[in-house]
Amino acid sequence: MQVRKTDSGLEVWAPAKLNLFLEVLARRDDGFHEIETLMCPINLYDTLYFCPDPSGRVSLTCRWASAGEQGAPAWETLPEGTANTVVRACELLRRRAGVSQGARVELVKRIPTAAGLAGGSSDAAAALLAANQGWALNLSPLELAQAAAEVGSDVPFFLGRGPAMCRGRGERIEPVVGLGSLHFVVVKPPVGLSTADVYRACRPAERPQEAAPLVGALREGRMSELGRLMVNRLQPAAESLSDMIDKLKREFNRLDVVASQMSGSGTSYFGLCRNARHAHRARRQLAVRGVGKVYAVRSCI
């Protein structure tokens, strides 16, 4: 997450994420699932502009970036008002801090929605950071993390920097260092999936896999082992709901990538590449196959 001051307020770059590992351990009594996931931020960003407003009203305008930047998926409707995590995050901090200030917020979207890339969660984290600084609240990292967990399960992850293991329902964060710069090719197909539907269809693992072997292999550069160590327990459930996941799996199996799988609850699919040149070559190969929007990206450290 990158925050900088502007003449009128603050500008925040909110990254997407990929799940290099996602194990579903159990269903919880609160309706969520107990998970263990290795999440990695990537350099596909939404941009949030925050300007304090003494009127006391939080207003949001959102739009897709121009086609010249990352492509404008005009078929995807962006939520507004309290349906948007940005507004919910700002209003939550207002209530917690007891402030009367408002804000004018503009959100420029590049991260596809319903994709398993957590764009909405990243935007919410960006709003929390911007509101804390823009309203001079001086909330501690712990207080911000508590607010983030209330907004959404993936939101606390984006308050940090770099890859992290996330546990519980995703709110317990442990930074992971030493993975180096990772390069990926990512496809977002035209169809999306509901996170709730995918989790509802998922069966928790009877014999859960552990993320530690994957982390070790990434740190030591043992690339040949990554294909069997990367896991997404939600992928079979997503495959049962959309034939696009299996189609993407077949397309990635035709590529010379190190390993590939679905991200989050889908429908985005990604391949781990050997370097930036390899990722861009894979992007060109996939782009001509008409499988969706294709990105060559790298990890944020």
- Active-site residues: which are they? 17, 154
Instruction: Kindly give the residue spans of alpha helices, DSSP state H, lying in 48-118.
Output: 85-97
Query: Can you point out the beta strands (E) in the chain?
Result: 2-5, 10-27, 33-53, 58-64, 102-109, 164-168, 172-175, 183-188, 231-232, 259-262, 269-273, 293-298
What is the Cα–Cα distance from 113 to 74, expressed in whole angstroms?
11
The Cα-based distances of 60 to 30, 85, 90, 93, 222 in angstroms read: 31, 11, 10, 16, 46
DSSP-assigned states of every residue in 201-252:
H----SS---SHHHHHHHHHT-GGGHHHH-EETTHHHHHHH-HHHHHHHHHH
Query: What SS3 class is residue 253?
Result: helix
Within a 10 A sphere around the Cβ of 13, how many other Cβ atoms? 16
What's the chain's Rg over C-alpha atoms? Answer: 19
CB 128 within 8 A of CB 159: yes
- Pairing mode of beta strands 231-232, 10-27: parallel
